[in-house]
């Protein structure tokens, strides 16, 4: 999730999308979006987020919201998505899987190693929820497995088998 978020932030085409990374240990935003997102997070959570130095990427800012749980942080980010301020959330299945409800989410790009069709359906269900604010909503679900041409090994074949298992029970 950290690497995916850094790639999105570094891509000039993502400017204006206000991506947010939310995991159990991290809340990150693009440095360019600080002035727009920090006050909105403070408004929703009731706490001004603290900026935590990171030494791995100067385009990314790590935030901590003292006294606010991961679940409440996800809820705050989900509100930003619903209100149109955030257009991309990068997260983990643990936080954005079962129990996460954000009808405004319409696109999922699954790069997890979840191997069961049940886990895959659970993830895809996040984007298929109806949104009364958006009656023409269409869900877009992608599953990505990257295999390098020179990686024709048993490990690469197991990734392809895992992908097939994930998709077996879907239309």
| pLDDT per residue as tens digits for the range 50-60 | 999 877 778 99
pLDDT at 170: 66
pLDDT at 95: 75
Q: What is the pLDDT of residues 32-54, one digit of tens each?
A: 999 999 999 999 999 999 999 87
pLDDT at 141: 80
Task: Give whichever of 68-77, 91-100, 157-166 has the largest mean pLDDT.
Answer: 68-77
Who has greater pLDDT, 133 or 50? Answer: 50
- Whether the full predicted model's pTM is greater than 0.85, yes or no, is no
Task: Give whichever of 24-28, 123-127, 165-169 has the largest mean pLDDT.
Answer: 24-28
> For the sheet containing 89-91, what is the strand order?
50-52, 60-64, 27-30, 20-22, 89-91
User: Which residues are paired to 64 by β-bridges?
Assistant: 50
pLDDT at 53: 80
User: Which residues are paired to 90 by β-bridges?
Assistant: 21
pLDDT at 48: 95
Distance CA 85, CA 18 (A): 7
DSSP 128: H
Residue 102: partners with Cβ closer than 8 Å, 6 or more residues away: 78, 81, 82, 126, 129
Who has greater pLDDT, 78 or 155? Answer: 78
């Amino acid at each position: 999730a950290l690497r995916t978020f850094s790639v999105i932030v570094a891509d000039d085409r993502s400017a204006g999308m206000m991506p947010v990374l939310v995991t159990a240990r991290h809340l990150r935003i693009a440095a360019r979006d600080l002035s727009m997102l920090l006050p909105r997070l403070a408004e929703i959570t009731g706490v001004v987020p603290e900026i935590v130095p990171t030494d791995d990427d100067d385009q990314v800012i790590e935030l901590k919201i003292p006294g606010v749980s991961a679940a409440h942080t996800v809820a705050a980010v989900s509100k930003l998505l619903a209100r149109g301020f955030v257009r991309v959330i990068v997260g983990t299945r643990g936080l954005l899987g079962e129990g996460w409800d954000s009808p405004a989410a319409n696109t999922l790009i699954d790069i997890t190693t979840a191997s069961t069709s049940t886990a895959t359906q659970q993830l895809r269900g996040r984007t298929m929820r109806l949104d009364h604010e958006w009656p023409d909503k269409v869900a877009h679900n992608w599953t990505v497995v990257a295999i390098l041409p020179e990686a024709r090994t048993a490990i690469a074949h197991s990734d392809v088998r895992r992908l097939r298992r994930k998709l077996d029970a879907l239309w």
